Amino acid sequence: MGMLADKVVLITGAGRGIGRDFALHCAAAGAAVVVNDLGVTADGSAAEGSPAEQVVEEIRAGGGRAVANHGSVASPGDAEAMVRQAVDVFGQLDGVINNAGILRDRIFHKMSIEEWDIVINVHLNGCFYVSRAAADHFREREGGSFVHMTSASGLVGNFGQANYSAAKLGIVALSKSIALDMGRFNVRSNCIAPFAWTRMTNTIPARNEAEIARVRRLQQMTPDKIAPMAVYLLADAAHDVNAQVFGVRNNEIFLLNQPRPVRSIHRGEGWTPETIAEHAIPALKSSFMDLARSPDVWSWDPV
């Protein structure tokens, strides 16, 4: 019996890359899987077969249970239909992995409104729509687990990803809110920041030596390394793990911090703009966050 025996899991963006490995690992752990994938090219311009159906066939060939779903996470109606399909076909829903995503990288002052909106809609709104659709079912069953994909781009930062970074850091706050609001119903919500080379990260530009070196490091990290953490977070074994953010990079697992006060300064008579400039900022400056990017923080090669 696997860790997810008798459970039903909905995984968005599960036709390729990390999502595909999530689906295969969850099925191998005993779960019935709703494999969601819109089935379009990386730039979203055209349909590209049915990767969801292919993953379902792989799972069934291995003796597992699975069904395909081709809805868009950016549609509230489609999100509700995913949850309804899980319940109609398998009788219940126990876990959700919010994995679907796209990239529309552009330096900030050249980013279009359309590039901003579509990334926010897929990542942040999509995460909300699917989670909200599952929330009532989880509450009625008094149990469930959400696993959301965040990113080092949101947690730390990267060039040319204002849309993606904003969405991914927003997902961390959304996950914490779900954990706070739904903990009374035994519903857990955690995040994973995955480091892996996939079709989506294949769109990351590499225009200079530093960017080329970063891409080479990413290419060493395969999607299947991320899946065990997701399976664990969906399992009953993780019953006391809630509102956390984990990073998974090759064979490394990180527990990532969340914003907390770093340093404080007090002035009994209150502050003026002048005393802030003269006193507060010089005292606090040594604790300022720098302009590090993700490759600066994870500067060593994957192990």
Question: Looking at the annotation, which residues are catalytic?
Answer: 164
Distance of CA 267 to the CA centre of its chain: 41
- Tokens for 7, please give them: 């459970």
Distance CA 181, CA 135 (A): 10
Distance CA 262, CA 154 (A): 19
Strand 144-149 relative to strand 95-98: parallel, antiparallel, unpaired?
A: parallel
- Tokens for 103, please give them: 């990239």
CA angle 249, 199, 95 (to 5 degrees): 65
Give the orientation angle of helix 113-120 with respect to helix 162-182, to 10 degrees: 30
Output the DSSP codes for 8-65: EEEETT-SSHHHHHHHHHHHHTT-EEEEE---B-TTSSSB---HHHHHHHHHHHTT--
Distance CA 112, CA 107 (A): 10
